[in-house]
Structure 1
Amino acid sequence: MPTLWNKGLQDRWLAFFIFYFYFYFMRIVTLLSDFGNTHYVSEMKAVIYKLCDYASVVDITHKIEKFNVLHGAFILKRSYSYFPKNTVHVAVVDPGVGGERKGIVIKTNNYYFVGPDNGLLSLAAKEDGIRQIVEIENKKYFLENVSATFHGRDIFAPVAAYIARGVDISKFGRSIVEYESIELKASISGDKIIGHVVDVDDFGNLITNIPFSIIEQAGISKVSLKNKELRILKTFCEARAGEMFAYKGSAGTLEIGVNKGSAKEMLDIGIGEKIWLKY
């Protein structure tokens, strides 16, 4: 009996230790890129796990439109805040890799953002509140052999791993004030709402940057786009099959969809395009 009791006590202490380690030491590192289904993603993960084996790496998406920094910035902005405090977000949509653009770490009120200084991190970081920006300069925290074309693996992934290990971001380089920022705001001009398509999902729904609050405050029930009148509905089931309509999306912005169809195909509109909605 004493032996069984001791064993049970040891198991409880082990469970407590695992619980404590998980909640106080484990750090989540997220990845967002335009790499698609390629080995580049796995190489970044391998670097992070090799340097910080207690990290938990989560993919936000690797289906960002190729070279489209605006698309990546929007998806990062709508995703980052669902993660626990102190999550390290790594984003790589980097058409200027190997050039003069800087690599940066941004520490905000609740998170860390690592990636190229091309505006990709700016929407999310500004929303959470920027506390410090550091230019990544200290090669001590890079991989030994840095490729001119893959800073995601050789610079950003190891830096993220070191942050997850508790390294202060001031170790990576000097603090800076100026950084590349994207400004993406909808506006109203006369009887038109002007915005941009910032994402197209796999169903062909057009996600815009137009806050749905604009629609609600104005009491708008219909809009027109490319000479097509769209009802504003709550759900897809309210629309007729094949009907195109506008609705409040899960990110709180105006979206345009087709019940059992594709708004992208019907309107021939892509990510980054400017739209004018007449009401």
Structure 2
Amino acid sequence: MQVVGRSKSGGEEMRMKRIVLLALILVFAGVLVLSHSSVQRTSNGIIAFITDWGSRDWYVGAVKGVALSIFPEATIVDITHDVPPFELEEGAATLWFSSREFPSGTVFVAVVDPGVGTERRPLVVHTENDMFFVGPDNGLFTYVMLDFGVKAVYQITNESFMKPPVSYTFHGRDIFTPTAANLAAGRKVSDVGPEITDYIMFDVGAAYIENGIIYGEVMNHDQYGNLRTNVTRKYVDELGLTFGDRIKLTVEGKTIETVFVNTYGDVEVGEFLTYVASTDQFAIAINWGNAREYFDADIGSEVIIEKIK
């Protein structure tokens, strides 16, 4: 009886040890899962791409394959791959306009990179609204940094965030995308490399009002030829523009008289109009026409707006 009793006690003790061991394993596994879960990580699992690669070649497919190989649960978004080749300011504006609509924690891969393979640095910009922008140090992140604020900027040097071997001509695949995928999966942004403060930004000209006239410049144009300017709603309100007001408008030295309205259909087909676009910027268009072609305007073209009294 005593032997049987000891065996029963020993068996009970073994079961308790197994239960405790299993509980410890589950707790440890839970900690690991939680450390990489959306509850704990700053990122939300979204990786959004904007490039000038176009859709003809294999580049877009390759970077998506890299991202999914590293983080299969990623949600991949194509903002656009049709930024005009090498047009940094166009890319910067497009990135800014689109990124404003994404949730905090999104990781953006932005590649308009004529200096690929040179001494220009690969970066991660962590903005105050907890978004992450991965790409080249060439001014591409100027507008998001100005609007969202900057928590920190890091130079990517940690090879564990890269896809070896790193080519000279495809950093989008070998540095930017694997870094973005690792961040989306929950790795710390501070682990990518050293923090820097001497990053490149565009010299952005600000709009201003002088003697009742707004002076600004073209910031962006779309495929319809509509021109968006750096003149924000604040300046429109300060000038006192309301629906139906007549405007003397000069773009790239060419002057017309037009009207301030809400939308394209407020004027006849072929007529000019000005309005506040969905991006909250003063915009210029021709209903069913192309304002960019008419003015021969481009990014940086001077815009002068005067209310006709």
After TM superposition, the score normalised by the length of structure 2 is: 0.79
- 2:221, 2:209 → 1: CA distance? 23
Equivalent residue for 1:208? 229
1:1-279 superposed matches below 5 A: 24=39, 27-37=45-55, 38-109=57-128, 110-184=130-204, 185-190=206-211, 192-220=213-241, 221=245, 222-225=247-250, 226-279=254-307
Task: After TM superposition, give the deviation of residue 155 of structure 1 in Å.
Answer: 0.4
State the SS of the aligned residue for 2:73: coil
Contact 1:71 1:272 in 2 (8 A): no
Q: Unaligned 5+ residue runs, structure 2? A: 1-35
Task: After TM superposition, give the deviation of residue 191 of structure 1 in Å.
Answer: 5.2
Task: After TM superposition, give the deviation of residue 192 of structure 1 in Å.
Answer: 4.1
Equivalent residue for 1:17? none
State the SS of the aligned residue for 1:194: strand
Q: Using the aligned pairs only, state the percent identity.
A: 36
Q: Unaligned 5+ residue runs, structure 1? A: 1-20
- 1:65, 1:194 → 2: CA distance? 26
CA RMSD between the two structures: 1.9
Q: How many residues align?
A: 259
Contact 1:30 1:58 in 2 (8 A): yes
- 2:256, 2:236 → 1: CA distance? 18
- 1:159, 1:44 → 2: CA distance? 11
State the SS of the aligned residue for 2:100: helix
Task: After TM superposition, give the deviation of residue 223 of structure 1 in Å.
Answer: 2.8
Worse-superposed segment, 266-275 or 197-206: 266-275
